[in-house]
Amino acid sequence: MAQFIELFRQYETALNGGDTEAIADCYADRFLHLTRRGDSWVHDWRRNNAEFRSILDRAGDWYRKLGARRFSARSLVENKLHPSHSLARVVWAVLNGPGAEIVSFEVTFMVRMREGQGAIVGLVAHNERRRVEESGFSLASADLYFDLPHNDFNAISGMRRSPLGVRETG
């Protein structure tokens, strides 16, 4: 349990410091990413690579432009699936300089514990996009921390999906 909590302390500290490398260090080399799109879900296997770090950088920049100065894990609930795997439901609060909440949203992480080290092997972004929109912010150019950036991009293969399902290089 202590290593589990420590993983999310590291994550929160990294978010607050804008430390892309430290955020990425919380993830496995590859992880499953699910996010809401309207009334349905989209998913993709992601790589913990330079592209992922670039998305994290852009997300941090976007939130700072909104006035975000701190991310707080307001709630962290662990559900054990197996001795080596847990689900963590986290309510993230995005706070401005004086500490007022700008927006909050939920993310569920699947965490694998091996040899005392935790790594995020999956995440479900429940409502970040919807909550940001409900708060009155424009998402036209937004890169969010937990939302999939592009519906048509496969982060593992580096290929784009065409509307007919044929893969094209991007």
The CATH number of the domain holding residue 142 is 3.10.450.50
Residue 159 domain-assigned (yes or no): no
Q: Which residue's structure tokens are 């990294």?
A: 14
Q: How far is CA 120 from CA 25, 44, 82, 138, in A?
A: 9, 15, 15, 29
How many domains would you assign to the chain?
Answer: 1
The answer, yes or no, to whether residue 144 has pLDDT greater than 90, is no
Residue 155 domain-assigned (yes or no): no
Residue 162 domain-assigned (yes or no): no
Residue 152 domain-assigned (yes or no): no
Range of the domain at 58: 2-146
Q: pTM of the entire structure?
A: 0.79
Report, as an integer, the average pLDDT of 79-108: 92
> Please, which contacts does 129-135 make with residues 24 or more away whose CB atoms are closer than 8 Å?
129/35, 129/36, 130/36, 130/105, 131/103, 131/104, 131/105, 132/103, 132/105, 135/102, 135/103
Residue 154 domain-assigned (yes or no): no
Residue 129 domain-assigned (yes or no): yes
Residue 161 domain-assigned (yes or no): no
Which H helix or E strand runs over 44? strand 40-47
- Top pLDDT among 1 and 4 is at 4
Q: How far is CA 93 from CA 70, 71, 138, in A?
A: 8, 6, 18
Residue 95 domain-assigned (yes or no): yes
Helix (H, G, I), strand (E, B) or coil at 126: coil
